Amino acid sequence: MREDTDFAECVDSFKNDAYITIEPWQSGGSIDHLRLTIRGMEGTPYEGGKFVFEIKLPSNYPFYPPFAYSHTIMYHPNIDSSIPPGKLNICLDLINPELVGKVDVSTGASGWTPSKTLTNVIEALKGMMHTEPPFFNPNDPLNHEAGEEALRAWKKFEKKAKEWTQKYAH
């Protein structure tokens, strides 16, 4: 099944990555419900933090994107920690179910297609946490306050993001 192939590929892709841990959500659980832990990279506001994401592969995967949810409270333009579990709290075209098969011509960002994989999703989430464009995108925020600060008052944004990382991501 495609889930098995994609899971094996992403485990292999990230096996030597000090910032990524991938495991079943529950001990002995299935590979269609995963716990992704991303460690904050040095030199970013998320440095030293451990950020937990839940990833579920839908029954119609790979024709429909994985569901991803951030469980760690964080101050991030593209992640809104105030959104309750079960709802999307990550602004990322790749996993947005409304953007399947679509491309944003102004940014080049594309929604999910069956040629994309779990590895693509994890790379994008890692890019968000390591403040790498285009994944870290304060121009298209879910958390508008964090987006405005990241664009107009980086030092203020960075201070708050670091404080939240120390408080919630350890």
Report the CATH number that the domain containing residue 146 is assigned in CATH: 3.10.110.10
The residue range of the domain holding 105 is 2-168
Catalytic residue among 36, 74, 79, 91: 91
pLDDT exceeding 90 applies to what percent of the chain?
88
Contact status, residue 111 vs residue 94, Cβ threshold 8 Å:
yes
Active site residue 91: yes
Q: Output the pLDDT for position 59.
A: 94
Q: Please count the structural domains in the chain.
A: 1
- Confidence check: pLDDT of 117 > 90: yes
Q: How far apart are CA 148 and CA 57, in angstroms?
A: 32
Contact status, residue 87 vs residue 97, Cβ threshold 8 Å:
no
Average pLDDT over residues 106-133: 92
Q: Which of 21-30, 105-114, 118-127 has the highest mean pLDDT?
A: 118-127
Residue linked to tokens 């451990």: 50
Average pLDDT over residues 93-113: 87
- Confidence check: pLDDT of 106 > 90: no
pTM: 0.95
pLDDT exceeding 70 applies to what percent of the chain?
100
